[in-house]
Amino acid sequence: EQFIVYLNILKQLQNDAKKNEIMIDFVFFPDVFYLKDKSYNQRWQPFIEAAKTEGIIINDAWEYIIENKDSNNMTWSLTDRHPNCKAHEIMANYIVEKIL
């Protein structure tokens, strides 16, 4: 159900952007808590594929993050699982290199 809601939101954003002549790109920022095993973030792959069938391209930064990570856990701390500064830097570089 959540995937359907997310897809509908992305479709609406994409349609609004197109109608207003705004370029829009969607990027998946993977969970950086456990970067040892690809299967940890695989649960989002069906969503990314479903979006593609709806004409929505979601750029997946997983491989780029894996190639550029400096540890297997790139969160702030064990109690704060938000991405740390290095993870944000890698994601920013992904956007600059792959999207822009």
pLDDT in tens, 7-61: 999 999 999 999 999 999 999 998 898 888 776 677 788 899 999 999 999 999 9
Which of helix, strand or coil describes residue 3? helix
pLDDT for position 36: 83
Give mean pLDDT, residues 72-89: 92
pLDDT at 71 over 70: yes
- Read off the amino acid at residue 27: V
In the 8-state DSSP scheme, what is residue 40? G
Instruction: Please give the helix or strand (H or E) that residue 23 lies within, else none.
Output: none
pLDDT for position 50: 92
pTM for the full model?
Answer: 0.83
- Residue 27 has phi, psi (to 5 degrees) of -130, 130
Q: Which of 69, 64, 98, 100 is nearest to 83 (CA)?
A: 69
Rounded Cα distance between 73 and 10, Å, is 29
